Amino acid sequence: MKVIRTKTYEEMSYEAAKLLAAQIVLRPDCVLGLATGSTPIGTYDQLVKWYEEGNLDFSAVRSVNLDEYCGLDGENDQSYRYFMDHHLFNRVNIDKANTNVPNGKAVDPEAEGARYDELIASLGGVDIQVLGIGYDGHIGFNEPGPAFIKPTHMVELDPSTIEANARFFASADDVPRQAITMGMGGIMQARKILLIANGAGKKDILMKSLYGPITPEVPASLLQLHPDLTVICAVDE
């Protein structure tokens, strides 16, 4: 595990973008595992800047996103598909047909999970997976629980996650109660993992995840076992 502590959100975003850009330059048709939430926005902005300056080419890049809310389609401005289009895909020369987000409107979430895992396998796996972290240690939408769940699956969101994500909705009542998320298996199979965290409020859960016991009660703690984990964080006051 490599930990890079930065002083500011901007610096964290710059360092994270550097790793992703290096991956794209190294393998132009790489598979990026992408995340949503407020944390990666600056990273995506930096990638867009390099693209606009002519230094980064997304034309052959493929992507898979971690998760999606159940019941929301890509037109809904709270969906993660919309988030990705808005913050990254519409702003660079990526082929939208090569971008993948779980289908939140799937009638059979189990079949959708199986489809998504097969899709990731057919792409040859994820080269670098970006992760944020929830205040309860969730990654993607893998919530604390009695066991790590390996495949892409549907989850009931934790009340604390619903509350934390309510800031993006008109009210907590509007936050979907369920989501489809890549499982811990898919995440751990990525060849590289890049975990980013911002804000002093994330420090405790980050320390617990990286240095505490490995337990499904803290899903991110499993990352300790990944052979190529880079953590970039701006969590000091």
Using CB under 6 A as the binding rule, whether residue 222 contacts ligand GLP is answered as: no
Q: What is the CA radius of gyration of the chain?
A: 16
118 is catalytic: no
Residue number, 57 or 188, with CB nearest to ligand GLP: 188
Question: For ligand GLP, which residue of 165, 189, 209, 221 counts as binding (CB under 6 A)?
Answer: 165
Could you give the C-alpha distances from 178 to 37, 143, 166, 169, 183, in angstroms and in order? 16, 11, 14, 15, 14
Using CB under 6 A as the binding rule, whether residue 134 contacts ligand GLP is answered as: yes
Rounded Cα gap, residues 98 and 117, in angstroms: 15
Burial class from Cβ neighbours inside 10 Å (0-12, 13-18, 19+) for residue 35 reads buried
Question: For ligand GLP, which residue of 102, 104, 137, 140 counts as binding (CB under 6 A)?
Answer: 140
Question: For ligand GLP, which residue of 129, 161, 189, 209 counts as binding (CB under 6 A)?
Answer: 161
Residues in contact with 144: Cβ distance below 8 Å, sequence separation at least 6, in sequence order: 136, 137, 138, 158, 216, 217, 218, 219
Rounded Cα gap, residues 16 and 44, in angstroms: 9
Reduce the DSSP state of residue 57 to 3 states and report it: coil
Q: Which long-range contacts (CB under 8 A, 24 or more apart) does 79-83 make?
A: 79/104, 80/36, 80/104, 83/36
**CA distance between the termini of the chain:** 23
Least Å from the CB of residue 156 to ligand GLP: 13
110 is catalytic: no
Using CB under 6 A as the binding rule, whether residue 133 contacts ligand GLP is answered as: yes
Interface region with ligand GLP, contact rule CB under 6 A, candidates 17-25, 32-40, 84-92, 183-191: 32-40
Catalytic residue among 85, 136, 156, 217: 136
Nearest Cα residue to 115 out of 128, 127, 134, 101 = 101
Least Å from the CB of residue 12 to ligand GLP: 11
86 is catalytic: no
Interface region with ligand GLP, contact rule CB under 6 A, candidates 31-39, 120-128, 206-214, 227-235: 31-39
Record the tokens describing residue 37, joined without a space: 């939430």
Question: For ligand GLP, which residue of 33, 109, 113, 132 counts as binding (CB under 6 A)?
Answer: 132
Using CB under 6 A as the binding rule, whether residue 38 contacts ligand GLP is answered as: yes
143 is catalytic: yes
Binding to ligand GLP (CB under 6 A): which residues in 72-131? none
| CB-based contact 81:51 (threshold 8 Å) | no
Interface region with ligand GLP, contact rule CB under 6 A, candidates 24-32, 49-57, 98-106, 134-142: 134-142
Catalytic residues: 67, 136, 138, 143
Binding site for ligand GLP (CB under 6 A): 35-39, 66-67, 132-134, 140-141, 161, 165
